[in-house]
Amino acid sequence: MVKYHVNPKTGEPGLCGAQANNCPFGGGDVHYPTKEAARSAYEKTMAAPAFNFKPHLTAISRKTASYPAKNFVGGHLRQLVDSGKPSRLLDYGCGRGTDVEFYRSFGGGEVYGYDPHWAPAEPEGQFNVVAMSYVLNVVESKEKRLEVLKKASASLAPGGEMFVSVRSHSTIEKEAAKNGWTPRGDGYITSLQRGTFQKGLTEEELQQLGAEAGLTDLKLIKHPDALTLSGTKIS
């Protein structure tokens, strides 16, 4: 069947000559039966209010806890629990809650999860540990990322530790090239129909966000496809 797409670099619609699912500009959700339909869908996508962001649909069903939960946040929580120090943990943007269950399995302290879609009741009070895993990379602009990080870090008790994990810039760039994601803002629309977006962060971008959000003693940990920034709050 004849299919038309739009070259995101030029904004022009054209006939797709790629073999099945091999088009550099995207999969079935960005191919249309006519040039006009391709142009119209592209224009709608590019007009910010017309693109219906649904970041909650990026939350996967995890079989086990996430890499940062197992390797960094969990270890920190265990130290607090074992040393009898206060250990109130908030998983901010917890998605379907697999990491929350993992932290609760430690059997010490209090563990809460918050997510605007999956767990919308905002827990009250301050927390000694705030974890935010793979949230900033689904948020569609730098301004909004900073807003989200500031809001999450506002829940930290003085001296508390924050762990912010994001998918790395290089990983997202590779996936975008492989899957033909459509560029948007400083990231990519990963599915038009689902309304999902990804922006991989560089080490500098993540550190800058941490500093702008008022976190100090910043430490960057690199892992295979992602980055974790830890930082504390002085007051």
Ligand X SMILES: C[S@@+](CC[C@H](N)C(=O)[O-])C[C@H]1O[C@@H](n2cnc3c(N)ncnc32)[C@H](O)[C@@H]1O
Contact indicator for 108, 81 with CB cutoff of 8 Å: yes
Shortest distance (Å) from residue 130 CB to ligand X: 11
Nearer to ligand X, 13 or 231 (CB): 231
- Nearer Cβ to ligand X (117/174): 117
Query: Which amino acid is located at 126 in the chain?
Result: Q
Of 85 and 117, which CB lies nearer to ligand X in the complex structure? Answer: 117
- 227 binds ligand X, rule: CB under 6 A: no
Rounded Cα distance, 139 and 2, in Å: 35
Find, among 176, 181, 188, 172, the residue nearest to 26 by Cα: 181
Q: Is 44 in the site for ligand X (CB under 6 A)?
A: no
Q: How many residues does the chain have?
A: 235
3-state SS, residue 200:
coil
Residues numbered 99-118 forming contacts with ligand X, rule: CB under 6 A: 99, 115-118
Contact between 95 and ligand X by CB under 6 A: the answer reads yes
Pairing of strands 216-223, 88-92: unpaired
CB 122 within 8 A of CB 130: no
Residue 93 as a binder of ligand X (CB under 6 A): the answer is: yes
- Give the nearer residue to ligand X in terms of CB position, either 99 or 205: 99
Which residue, judged by CB position, is nearest to ligand X in the bound state?
Answer: 95
Provide φ and ψ at 170, rounded to 5°.
-65, -35
Q: Using the rule CB under 6 A, give the single segment among 75-83, 87-95, 174-182, 214-222 that binds ligand X.
A: 87-95
Interface with ligand X by CB under 6 A: which range of 39-47, 128-136, 177-185, 217-225?
A: 128-136
- How far are the Cα atoms of 20, 122, 157, 166, 178 from residue 215, in angstroms, in the given order? 48, 22, 12, 16, 35
Question: Under the criterion CB under 6 A, does residue 138 sit at the interface with ligand X?
Answer: yes
The residues of the shown chain that bind ligand X, judged by CB under 6 A, are 55-56, 58-59, 62, 66, 92-95, 99, 115-118, 133-135, 138-139, 148
